[in-house]
Amino acid sequence: MSQPFGLRLADAMAQHGPLCLGIDPHSHLLQSWGLNDDPAGLETFSKTVVEAAATMVGVAALKPQVALYERFGAAGFAVLEDTLQFAHEANIVTIADAKRGDIGSTMDGYAQAWLADGSALAADAVTLSPYLGYESLRPAIDVAQAHNRGVFVLALTSNPEGASVQHVGASDDSVAKRIVDAAGADNAHADRLGSVGLVVGATAIDVTKTLNIDLARANAPILAPGYGSQGAQASDIRTGFGAAWPNVLVNSSRAILRAGPQVADLKASIAEAHKELNVS
C-alpha cells in the first residue's frame, strides 16, 4: 500500500460517497437467496456482493462480518480470504469486522493476521475492541501504520449493554471519551483523515453531547452501523454527526443484501442507499 489508509479511504469516499456495504452472510440470507447454508453458498453469496459493488459508483468500502465466515471453520476462512482478494482486485477498500482485542504478543498475532502484508486475511482495516485498555491495541495500530492499513476502534455502540461500560465516568472522563481522545492523538499529524478510526453507532450518536465528545476533533474515519435495518435514517445521521459527518462511513448490510440474489437488484438497492445518503 503506497498511501496511508486514511487517505485512501478519503479518496474512496470522495468518489463513491459514504456508503459501506456489509457482507453479512447470515443463514437466513443465504437461504432467502436460494443458497445452501454451507461454504459453497457462502462463496456464491460473497462473490455476488463484491461483483455488485465493483461495477458501479456507490460503495466506498466493503465490510465482511468475520464471525459469519468463522462459523464454517477453515472452509469459511478460505472463502473470506478469496472474498478479500476479489475486493482488492476490484480496488474496493475492505474492513474486516473481527472486533479483535487482546494484549501483548497475542494482539500482535491478530495484527499480523489481519493487517500485515503477505497475510491471506489482510484487509485494508480491521475492527478492534479496546476494553482491555486503548494501549492494549498498540501492536495492531503499529502494524497497521507500518503497512499503510487502518483500524476501527469500538467507541460508542448501540447495543443496550454498551452504555454500562462506555458511558462510565464523568461527562469529561467517560470511557468512550477516553477512547475517542486517544484515537485523536494518534491521528493528530495525519493529512486529511487519520488511519485510526472509530466505531460509533448511528443510533447512539446523541450521547456524544452528554459525554462531551468531539468526534470531528479526532480526525478519525467513523464507521457508523445502524442505518437501514436498525432504524437510523440518513437525515438523522447527517444531523447527529454534525461537523464530523464528512468523516462518516455509513454501514448498511441486511437492508441492501435482502435485494439479492440478482446482481442487478443489489445494484438498484445500493443506488437507492447512495442517493439517500448523498442528499445534502
Q: Which residues are known catalytic residues?
A: 99
| Integer Cα distance of 107 and 31 in angstroms | 36
Nearest to 56 by CA among 263, 201, 199, 279: 263
Whose cell is 441492501? That residue is 256
CB atoms closer than 10 angstroms to residue 62: 26
Peptide bond into 261 cis (omega under 30): yes
DSSP per position, 103-170? -HHHHHHHHHHHHSTT-TT--SEEEE--TT-GGGGHHHHHHHHHTT-EEEEEEE--STTTHHHHT-S-
Alpha carbon separation from 275 to 56, 180, 237, 278 (Å, rounded): 13, 30, 14, 5
| Integer Cα distance of 249 and 123 in angstroms | 16
156 phi/psi in degrees, rounded to 5: -130, 110
